[in-house]
Amino acid sequence: MSLNENYVAKYITKVYGWMFLGLAITFIVAFLISTNEAAMNLLIGSRGAFLVLFLAQIFLVGYLSVRIQKMSSGTATAVFLGYAALMGVTFSVFLLAYSATTLVTVFAITAGTFGIMSAVGYFTKQDLTSFGRIMMMGLIGIILASIVNWFLASPTLFWIISYVGVAVFVGLIAYDTQKIKAYAYLDSEEARQKGAILGALALYLDFINLFIMLLRLFGGGRRN
């Protein structure tokens, strides 16, 4: 392995470290909330609570993505970890809605798929920029369709979104991994640290959303 390849590999490992920390925070918060009866009654009993959580999560992701160049790396890190904790509140519902077997199985499938597609994005010599644009258009379509189906509650649209969502997020894992390699060559250590956080956020979102889409497809594992 050349010096440059070794440097990039260490940087990517750092990005994965932040991503895994975010995932750990999400699942710890999810577990703590799921064992709190008062908190779960509030979440399950109020559709408005989920809407507030959704809007808060969208705001934090948008804020970090747009403002990261104007904030310190410490602030960017705090926003990312705060988002991961907030996502844990949403995830607490899944811990009660699905059996442990289903959750573990889907997590294993997600982790395996993530690992394979990350390797594809890291080692491929082909430029995935055009492919990434197609995946981003698919992502926009999924978001719009999900908003529409929030009101329609169409089973058919639900399944379409789920299957398309799996394909889109699988593709985004490879694209985002390749894109993150460029962050290793940013001009300053501060910029590289911000790039690591932004990259960790992208991979975190890919992992979380792929997990959710697969969980929807394995919905037969719901608790009674």
Query: In whole angstroms, what is the distance from residue 165 CA to residue 65 CA?
Result: 21
CA distances, 27 to each of 52, 79, 87 (Å): 20, 17, 9
The answer, yes or no, to whether residue 200 has pLDDT greater than 90, is yes
Q: Which domain holds residue 217?
A: 3-221
pTM above 0.95, yes or no: no
Return the structure tokens found at 173.
Answer: 């894992």
Cα 201 from chain centroid (whole Å)? 7
- Angle, in degrees to the nearest 10, between helices 37-45 and 73-97: 80
Q: Please report which confidence band the pLDDT of residue 204 belongs to, taking 50, 70 and 90 as the band edges.
A: very high
Region 154-169: what's the mean pLDDT? 93
Q: What is the pLDDT of residues 61-104, one digit of tens each?
A: 887 877 887 888 899 999 899 999 999 988 998 888 888 899 99
User: How many domains does the chain contain in total?
Assistant: 1
